[in-house]
């Protein structure tokens, strides 16, 4: 199981705000936003809530759990 | 007997540390600085300075081992890196908190610390092997350890930070 996110879509929905502007508003670096969007970095609960609040969405809409598909060899 | 260069370098080092100490104490009490967080640019610049200082110091201690020790050249090479961290301290004092880097930067630095530990063990093994063959002066162990650690920490922090 991993954490997925709709951060990029939510950014576009909120006046097409840039990564830089979002990072500045939240108080993190642009690299952190890039990393979260790519799914390389899992934000803390506090940061996830800050992002959701800034984007005007419930946190479950911005972040969600993704079930990993078992490998075919595992099923056999 | 101290040479003129040694005295000059010592004066520069002590002068820089005194000025940095005064700045760290005075600047946060003034309105000279508004920065309350380590920005992406400062974070990357810190690692680049660390890379440059570590590499320069290692070149100095291997190219002129005696001069690097007698004239305190390796300490001089490390000074810019130390001054950048004094600037971090100024930011922390201005912000009145310790967490002036964001959580990804913190995680990147923590990961880099782990990688640096492994690299430092490898570097010490190299030094030990060279020392056993009479190719390494024992007085260089401390600067060698410090400089390789700075170099490895800066390089790995930058790599983890830029990985995404």
The pTM is what? Answer: 0.87
pLDDT-derived band at A65 (thresholds 50, 70, 90) equals: very high
For B160, the token pair is: 């983890």
Which pLDDT score is estimated for B124?
Answer: 95
Q: For residue B96, what is the DSSP state?
A: T
The DSSP-derived string for chain A is -EEEE-HHHHHHHTTT--HHHHHHHHTS-HHHHHHHHTTSS---HHHHHHHHHHHTS-HHHHEEEEPPPPPHHHH-
Q: Please tell me the distance in Å from B121's CA to the nearest CA on chain A.
A: 28
Beta partners for A63?
Answer: A5
Chain B residue whose CA is closest to A46: B103
Q: Which residues contact B121 (CB under 8 A, 6 or more apart)?
A: none
Among B42, B43, B104, B106, which would you mutate to test the A interface (most chain A Cβ atoms within 10 Å of its Cβ)?
B104
Q: Please tell me the distance in Å from A49's CA to the nearest CA on chain B.
A: 14
Asked if A34 lies within 8 A of B103 by C-beta distance, the reply is no
Which pLDDT score is estimated for B29?
Answer: 87
Q: Please tell me the distance in Å from B20's CA to the nearest CA on chain A.
A: 27
Assess contact for B3 and B71: CB atoms under 8 A. yes
Q: For residue B27, what is the DSSP state?
A: G
CA–CA gap between residue B88 and residue B100 (Å, rounded): 8
List CB contacts (< 8 A) between A41 and chain B.
104, 107, 164
Asked if A30 lies within 8 A of B37 by C-beta distance, the reply is no
Complex ipTM over 0.95: no
Assess contact for B77 and B53: CB atoms under 8 A. yes
pLDDT at A76 over 60: no
Question: Which residues, given as ranges, of chain B have pLDDT below 50?
Answer: none
Asked if A32 lies within 8 A of B104 by C-beta distance, the reply is yes
CA–CA gap between residue B163 and residue A31 (Å, rounded): 9
């Amino acid at each position: 199981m991993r954490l997925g996110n709709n951060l990029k879509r939510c950014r576009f929905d909120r006046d097409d705000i840039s990564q830089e502007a979002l990072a500045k508003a939240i108080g993190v670096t642009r690299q952190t936003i890039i990393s979260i969007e790519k799914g390389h970095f899992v934000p803390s609960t506090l940061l996830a809530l800050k992002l959701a609040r800034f984007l005007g969405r419930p946190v479950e809409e911005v972040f969600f759990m993704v079930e990993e598909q078992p490998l075919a060899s595992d099923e056999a | 007997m101290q040479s003129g260069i040694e005295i000059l370098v010592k004066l520069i080092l002590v002068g820089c540390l005194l000025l940095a100490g005064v700045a760290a104490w005075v600047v946060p009490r003034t309105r000279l600085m508004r920065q309350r967080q380590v920005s992406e640019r400062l974070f990357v610049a810190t690692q680049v300075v660390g890379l440059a200082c570590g590499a320069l110091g290692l070149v100095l201690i291997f190219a002129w081992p005696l001069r690097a020790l007698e004239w305190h050249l390796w300490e001089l090479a490390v000074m810019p890196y130390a001054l950048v961290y004094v600037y971090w301290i100024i930011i922390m004092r201005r912000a009145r908190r310790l967490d002036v880097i964001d959580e990804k930067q913190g995680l990147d630095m923590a990961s880099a610390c782990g990688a640096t530990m492994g690299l430092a063990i490898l570097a010490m093994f190299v030094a030990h092997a060279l020392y056993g063959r009479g190719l390494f002066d024992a007085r260089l162990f401390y600067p060698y350890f410090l400089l390789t650690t700075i170099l490895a920490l800066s390089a790995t922090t930058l790599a983890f930070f830029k990985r995404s």
